[in-house]
Structure 1
């Protein structure tokens, strides 16, 4: 059994779903093949995820454009960020604390559980897309003349002129296309879990740089709004393995002390898990008739929480490039069009990746001259409204959207 579609997207998560919905907004119909199963709304909404994604204003704007944002059933906005280093003076505070749930005009962004976000994306794709398939198993992907052929486990074969790989860090599309991956192993791992704290977060995202690596407390939506946080604790892998062996009570006490009582005592732990930290980038974002977006193209250190946002910017820039190409006498998904997308995104993403690597080293260094320079730099930024506004503008992602048809 064989079929043809001009555009096929492999991966139906945030980035893949956003790509399909942005194309649909311009009247371009894509087929989405998602390996994940259809999500159960009751199960997803009843259980708090231990992780959150920090969505910046650009990502929130894009989700509103494709009408996903109203479907997100819970999220925690944040109006402030506080970053400091345990060893050395100086810290940076952006925005402000809030006692009550803040109006959207004051947000710096919002924290959303991945499961809640994926549910909303899936609901919208079901409503909009004619060719959206879940629980799909792909056997192989072949380049046949000027098309790509996707062979499924059920015996179906799909041909397409444009194949978009949005299937995550272990991208099968990237592997089948024989695109090499450059990997930087940090020799670190991170522990993630949900914690209940003694003090409320006041809608502030906090991060302290410890000698072992950064520890982030991120607001998470709950019925007792403000007292649940999602943590990302970067550690040397050996220490991470040690902490993962602790009981919940032992881990809570270790976390309380290591965080310098950031929000008082840690009173409860939920769903603790660990994962290795690596940065990677695909050697090529595009081939004739093929483009990679999101984690399929790049993965960065999580210390600034920007990975998901640069993936959404990939989706926006790719769709912008494709939609604009329709007014020209160019082949759909032609290599010149796709190269333009790659030129617009690859350097920006690699600068972000290497910037996060440098920042992690700088903040974790115990060299006295580095500590002095780091403390001086933090003080200078914190005292300069101009520098604060500059960094906040870059983190918002809105300057990238201004160059697209999805201008904020």
Structure 2
């Protein structure tokens, strides 16, 4: 039995640039959005390729989808090289715009010594990729020989040759032209469902992706990823070696974020960021400083929330309950931010208390906090306040001292005479 879409909608999502971590989230979310409308999904491709494991996740999402997925290389001048070609081969309908190219799917590896990409020729890597693309072509009724040559010989085709050699099904000038040409086509999904397309005058819904997908994609870019890791490690090193410990959680957060580009789950990264952010907030609240830890903690927790998976309204969780959870999260974040801000306000108010005038300190008694040699400075405690002091004679830690003069923020001290 063939089922026709009851609602005249089409969801469109774009894959532009490299296929890195986060693109798999984008496609997964777009498929879920299309399934919510029981509408076909059009994946617009313009990519130089990307990571194989991400590509395999996207292929799996397409093959397990309950709606048709149409791959479309667009606009004029666009291409779907390498991983982009594999994704195109996985779609139920493959289409290209005039002036576009596909193919050149031989895997490569980055050589850090030369800064160049080198082709991989090992059979243990090549053969599985050939097997994947050949199976996709066979399942979709396309040219298996040409599909293999994309990997084995770096074959590339323009839209006319791709159509001629039965690699794609449609050449269309625009998305509207594509939807007009595939209207009423019958598609058999990998799930066994028969689906008749109803794309004439369809309402096009552009899906732009969640914050989670965008953040993961940006951070997974090799350049951004390397910068985050390098800056994070440097902050941790200088924080520890220089005694600037409040900066260490920030450095750790950047290093953990950079792990997104190494294939670590965004959920795991979120939990680690929440943990570090919570520790930073706790330290800031119980041992108030300059607010660096508080700001770092709130920032890391906010990023971790953004990396959490998007809840699908069509799942077991209702839209109203999802909205309630969202506002609860916002309220908790605002409460933490407000409380930290209040603590910082109190700390700043204390730091801005008017300093003692010179006359009020001269003659005051205090206790040495450090061993201070004559002519050098250290810290003393006067009435519960720490002061930097210049010793006019050797002073040992714990000795009672008396202030004899004051120059700017530094007091001059001698040992107090025993009574």
| Structure possessing the higher relative contact order (Cα contacts under 8 Å, 6 or more residues apart) | 1
Structure showing the higher strand proportion among its residues: 1
Structure showing the higher helix proportion among its residues: 2
User: Is TM-score (shorter-chain normalized) higher than 0.5?
Assistant: no
TM-score (norm 1): 0.23
